[in-house]
Amino acid sequence: MIKQLLLVLLVAFITPLSAQQIIQGRVTDAATGEPLVGVNIQIKDTNYGAVTDLDGNYELRIPGSGGQFFSRKASPPVLVFTYTGFETQEIDSKDRDRVNVELTTTASELQEVVITGTATGRSPKLMSYSVGRIAGPAIGRVPADNLGSSLQARIPGLRVSRPGGQPGQEVYYQIRSANSIANGQQPLVILDGIFLSEGSLADIPVQDIDRIEVLKGSAGASLYGSQAANGVIQIFTKRGKDLEVGKTKVTYRNETGFSEVVDQYPVNTLTQREIIDSGEPQPILGNPNEGQLFSQELPNLQNYQEDFLFQRGVRQSHALIVEGKTNATNFLASYQRLQDKGVLQGLDGYTRNALRLNLDHQVSNKFSVYLSSAYTQSEQDLIEPVANGPNNFLSSTLLMTPMFTLDAPNEEDGTAFDWDIDNTGANITNPLYTRENISNRLGRNRLLGQAGVSYYPKEWLNISYAAALDRSVRNFEQYLEKGYLSTTLPDGFGTLATANVQGSNGGGILQRDQVDQTFISRLNVSAQRGWGGFNLATRLGFLYEDITQEIREGKGEDLAVRNLNSLDNARSNITISSAAQEIVAYSGFLVADVDYKEKYLFSGLLRREGSSLFGPENRWANYYRVSGAYRITQDLKIKPFQELKLRASMGTAGIRPTYEQRFEAFSLVNGELTKNTLGNELLKPAQSTEQEIGLDATIGRSLRLEFNFSRINTDDQILLVPLTAAAGFRGQWRNAGSLEAKVYEGGLNIDFARLFRFKGTAMRWELFTTFSRVQQTVTSLDVPAYYTGPGAQQASLFVIEEGRTLGLMEGEIFATSLEQLQGQEGINPADFMINDLGYVVRTDQLGTAQEAPYKLRDAGGNPIVDVIGDINPDFRMGFAHTLAFRSLELYTLFDWKKGGDIYNATKQWLYKDLRHAEVGDNPNISANFYGSNGLYNALVANNHFVEDGSFFMLREAALTLMIRQQSLGGLFKKFDHIRLSLIGRNIFTKTDYSGFHPDVSSVPRSESLLSTSAPDARGSDLTTPNGDPSLFLVDSFNYPLPRSFTFSVQFGF
């Protein structure tokens, strides 16, 4: 200690003698090694500085009177290197007259300030509850067509479900656990302050994104009240803020490539029937052979999938982004166009055009105004969702016996495809005929906007007002061409859509316009003061929400002319319907973030909210949060921790009832009045209470760790309480159950370059790992245990019962061991054996046409129904890995799901007509073993179709070459940079799952049709809640998840 003191004194005396110090050096890009021009170098705590020249060199002259600060601090100057887009570095210049520096680009996962849920914005270091963050560049490497998809595997605890790979398809989220039994798990999604209706991110181009913040549960998201129990995702778009004053930046990016199906679906190419006629185009099969064995190849064998179903679909996007900044104004304007043909032949896929303008303007030093606006228009050519049975192009192609010449002409009317070519008895309409004659198109126009003013009467005080609007108009059209011949019709169409029925021309049209609008208006008063080591930030806010929906629908059949997509074309069975709803909510809140010397951190919040969705008896709900954290390493040096923070937080948030749950009653369709559900004047939002403990640690500069444990209790679940049929109403939505979840989640960021001390090299090597494990249980249920599921076919697959895990599948059980036969009435286990497929069969029937799997039965002879699967995985992990050397970067994202079952309803359907490849795989087992009296089991759920959904996949990869201006020559000299990337998505999957891909969820019915069923809005029907893809993992002819490879080039000006 004395030695150190002497040294300080010595320095203090000696340094004033050296009149002027000169420090020189060069600043380069760590990634490329190229010199950086215009880097700002400043001596810390002074106004002295310099800027690098064209070669990245600088010279810093410390004035002669420099002694004034050397003597004061008794330490050599610290140089601060700052450069937009790069991490700021501070370097101690002690004993050095040359300081060369390599700057690295801003680390993507680290943002300076968290806005969501806080009083005035806080540094992540000072947060006392967990917040997931992701920066634009991290998701921009492999831009997804749906922003939601970009979040998968990157934020601990955030799960993204995508029902399939249909271009433009909506995705669904679950943050931490499932908190709702019947209302879905969609979080509140906010874009630049705009509350997005239905949480849809399908219209937001990834290129516009600056950063995303995720509040994971009630402990963090209480500020958003009854919309926040499922978490909050807030997205911020770029605004040109970070540019230098006077600079305008123009970026153009093009990405072109293709998507394809990884593997064909395995279908049976054999037959057990005699071949009566093998000629084209319609071979004829006769009766089954004696043993019902698949002994011969189908005649005229076809590969429908290769020839007619799948294609390499072109995928292309263009983006033009202009950002600029002047003294008082900064802005971003962008246009993006995305076109994804998809992997199914004959469909137009998805096209999206998006425009954005963001603008901030400083009117005076006390007044600023801001504007965020976006307009998106998109068009989707859809296959019909398979909610009630497969009738679409994809499913029919798989179900059709592959022996017909599908492009044979139609003998009835000479058109392109013979609709009734299937003569096997399965009567499947020629899928090409379906594709050509039925179209489903969804057009969407969405306007997003927010305008606000901000007023600073004092430096520490801010008053701001903003109004925001999300208006989306969806136009859905289903069109069946005049002359349509098949009796297989889309859901909702009647018989006159088939030509020749009662003299009908056939054909039909349905048009549905849905306008959703969310308007919010909010006023915030925030203040920020510090005194005596305390820092206090508070915000008082008021929020008004007005959410409306209007639907108009018209439908008709028996078209007058061909090719006319107008409702006027319909001549018969014309129906019209409309629906409207309006939701109003008011809320006020007070939030305060306090810290003492940035060491002890506290946050508290109170919110009171009233909504028209709460019954008049429970019109107002209260929410709170308290949280605290202790940054231990501010007090104690604990090796090897650079930073160690312990956190604890507790808070409440809610789940709003839907409009249909709150209000009764009589549904009025086409003037006919029938009873539906009984309204509930006492209904209140489900209430979620979360306790979260966690830690954040930085270890040796190279490791950053976050770990959270949270326990979530969601009470007052909104459930349909069935009423006796005598009441007339089907049921009433009441607060009638509780869920409990335990969540373990973590994130670990390893900077290998620092860990292995790659000094002076231009190497970056980082791995960001996420982990989560969830256990969720129904802790109380005030209704009798019940079954639920997606769509009519699987309506009774998932059991909801007190004391049991949420996500259990129940079904009938085919015995797989002789022990299971113990206690089976009238059964002698000695008469049975296990066959080659592992199922129990009667020994005397082995190898005969009667061989059938033994189904467990109760004493009354009825099949036993018991647990056959559980959707909940053991854990999920994500690995985002970046390896870069100079200007070359390889980025990969791996996604790992361990455990968790999927119900493979696609396979069960394919067993129906013996079309699945497995059916023909075993030459000794008869068709009956698989068919109606066997495993197919007349579509009743059973253990054979439950499969382990584990997978490990390379979800994204990008190889990028960044060429900066300094290295560009000739014509390219004018560019600021050129960035070239090879991009792959869903590249490789390791799984035992037998379907297209294990990362599936149920397909919600995308368009609920008023004229056929009024009460089917999400969450409004118990047996088919119609849209909780997170909960119902059922594979039912989902559009396959494609693999894509693209090449992108980006020019910066």
Partner 1 sequence: MKINFYPAYILFLIFSLTSCKELDTVNLNNPDRQTVLTTGGDLIAALEGGYINWWQGVHGDHPALALSVAGDAYGMSWADFGAQRMGMEPRTAYNNRTTEESDYRQVVQEPWFGCLSAVATANDILAALDRGVSIDRDGPQDQGVRAAAYFLRGVSWGYLGLIFDEGLLVDEYTDLEQELNFVPYPEMIAASVAELELGIQTATPLGEDFVHNYFNEVRLNTDEFVQLSHAYAARFLTQWPRTPEENETVNWQAVLDHAEKGLTYNFAPEADGESWQSYHQWVFAETGQGPFWARVDQRLVAAMDPSQPSRYPETAAKGEAPLGKTEAQSNDQRLKTDFVYLPKNNFPVDRGEWHYSHYKHNRNLTDPDFAGDGSSTGPMPAFREADNELLRIEALLELGQKSQAISALNAGTRKTRGQLPNLPSQAGEQEVRQAILYERAIELLSTGPASLWLDRRRMMSREDYLEVTPLGGLQTGTPAQLPVPAEELRIQGEMPYNFGGPNDPEGIVAVF
Stretch that binds partner 1, among 393-401, 520-528, 683-691, 954-962 (CB under 8 A): 520-528
Least distance between partner 1 and beta carbon 234 (Å): 21
Torsion, CA 272, CA 905, CA 947, CA 805, rounded to 10: -150
**According to the binding rule CB under 8 A, does residue 1014 interact with partner 1?**
yes
Stretch that binds partner 1, among 197-205, 572-580, 597-605, 836-844 (CB under 8 A): 572-580
Angle at 488 between CA 484 and CA 489, to 5 degrees: 75
**According to the binding rule CB under 8 A, does residue 427 interact with partner 1?**
yes
Which of 693, 939, 968, 982 touches partner 1 by CB under 8 A?
939
Q: Which is closer to partner 1, CB of 457 or CB of 969?
A: 457
Least distance between partner 1 and beta carbon 656 (Å): 13
**According to the binding rule CB under 8 A, does residue 271 interact with partner 1?**
no
Contact criterion met (CB below 8 Å) for 261 and 312: no
Least distance between partner 1 and beta carbon 485 (Å): 7
**Phi, psi values for residue 825, rounded to 5°:** -60, 135
Walk across the sheet containing 101-103 and list its strands.
Answer: 57-62, 21-29, 101-103
Q: Which is closer to partner 1, CB of 327 or CB of 364?
A: 364
**According to the binding rule CB under 8 A, does residue 458 interact with partner 1?**
yes
Which of 4, 365, 724, 828 touches partner 1 by CB under 8 A?
724
Q: 431 to 450, contacts with partner 1 by CB under 8 A?
A: none
**According to the binding rule CB under 8 A, does residue 606 interact with partner 1?**
no
Contact criterion met (CB below 8 Å) for 262 and 989: yes
**According to the binding rule CB under 8 A, does residue 295 interact with partner 1?**
no
Q: Which is closer to partner 1, CB of 494 or CB of 899?
A: 494
Give the per-residue contact string, 727-756, with partner 1 (x = CB under 8 A; - = no): xxxx--------------------------
Rounded to an integer, what distance in angstroms lies between the CA atom of residue 804 and that of residue 770? 28
| CA distances to 10, 814, 830 from 823, in Å | 93, 15, 13
The CB density around residue 601, as the number of other CB atoms within 10 Å, is 23
DSSP assignment string, 849-905: TT--PPBPB-TTSPBPEEEEEE---SEEEEEEEEEEETTEEEEEEEEEEE--EEEEH
Of 613, 605, 565, nearest in space to 586 by CA: 613
Which of 132, 288, 431, 790 touches partner 1 by CB under 8 A?
288
Which of 461, 561, 638, 1049 touches partner 1 by CB under 8 A?
461
Least distance between partner 1 and beta carbon 216 (Å): 30
Q: Which is closer to partner 1, CB of 622 or CB of 674?
A: 674
Of 173, 210, 219, 172, nearest in space to 191 by CA: 210
Least distance between partner 1 and beta carbon 487 (Å): 5
**According to the binding rule CB under 8 A, does residue 546 interact with partner 1?**
yes
DSSP assignment string, 401-464: -TTS-TTPPPTTT--SS-TT---SSS-PPPHHHHHHHEEEEEEEEEEEEEEEEEEEEETTEEEE
**According to the binding rule CB under 8 A, does residue 496 interact with partner 1?**
yes
DSSP annotation of 75: S
Stretch that binds partner 1, among 28-36, 148-156, 457-465, 470-478 (CB under 8 A): 457-465
Q: Which is closer to partner 1, CB of 243 or CB of 914?
A: 914
Q: Which is closer to partner 1, CB of 503 or CB of 760?
A: 503
Rounded to an integer, what distance in angstroms lies between the CA atom of residue 83 and that of residue 51? 10
Least distance between partner 1 and beta carbon 928 (Å): 6
Contact criterion met (CB below 8 Å) for 924 and 295: no
Give the per-residue contact string, 669-708, with partner 1 (x = CB under 8 A; - = no): -xxxxxxx--x-----------------------------
Give the per-residue contact string, 396-415, with partner 1 (x = CB under 8 A; - = no): --------------------
Least distance between partner 1 and beta carbon 1022 (Å): 10
Beta-strand relationship, 677-678 and 731-735:
parallel
Q: 778 to 797, contacts with partner 1 by CB under 8 A?
A: 784, 786-787, 792-793, 795-796
Burial 398-413 (b: 16+ CB within 10 A, else e): bbbbbbbbbebebeee
**According to the binding rule CB under 8 A, does residue 276 interact with partner 1?**
no
Contact criterion met (CB below 8 Å) for 111 and 141: no
Least distance between partner 1 and beta carbon 590 (Å): 17
Least distance between partner 1 and beta carbon 659 (Å): 8
**According to the binding rule CB under 8 A, does residue 495 interact with partner 1?**
yes
Which of 414, 860, 969, 970 touches partner 1 by CB under 8 A?
860
Burial of 803 (0-12, 13-18, 19+ CB in 10 A): exposed
Which of 78, 355, 369, 501 touches partner 1 by CB under 8 A?
501
Count of chain residues binding partner 1 (CB under 8 A) = 100
Q: 351 to 370, contacts with partner 1 by CB under 8 A?
A: 366-367
Give a three-class secondary structure readout of 953-973. Answer: EEEEEEEEEEEEHHHCCHHHH
**According to the binding rule CB under 8 A, does residue 470 interact with partner 1?**
no
Q: Which is closer to partner 1, CB of 394 or CB of 1017?
A: 1017
Of 842, 845, 787, nearest in space to 815 by CA: 842
Which of 303, 566, 634, 932 touches partner 1 by CB under 8 A?
932
Least distance between partner 1 and beta carbon 70 (Å): 39
What SS3 class is residue 753? helix
Q: Which is closer to partner 1, CB of 110 or CB of 864?
A: 864
Which of 414, 425, 760, 969 touches partner 1 by CB under 8 A?
425
**According to the binding rule CB under 8 A, does residue 467 interact with partner 1?**
yes
Contact criterion met (CB below 8 Å) for 214 and 229: no
Which of 582, 635, 782, 992 touches partner 1 by CB under 8 A?
582
Contacts of 718 by beta carbon, 8 Å cutoff, 6+ apart: 180, 182, 183, 655, 657, 661, 683, 685, 686, 733, 734, 735, 736, 1019
Q: Which is closer to partner 1, CB of 765 or CB of 936?
A: 936
| CA distances to 641, 647, 697 from 636, in Å | 10, 17, 14
Least distance between partner 1 and beta carbon 378 (Å): 28
**According to the binding rule CB under 8 A, does residue 841 interact with partner 1?**
no
Q: Classify 64 in phi/psi space as left (phi over 0), alpha (psi -120 to 50) or beta.
A: alpha
Measured over the CA atoms of residue 60, residue 63, residue 64 and residue 70, the dihedral's sign is negative
Q: Read off the amino acid at residue 178.
A: A
Least distance between partner 1 and beta carbon 534 (Å): 19
Which of 10, 276, 938, 1049 touches partner 1 by CB under 8 A?
938
Of 656, 521, 512, nearest in space to 583 by CA: 656
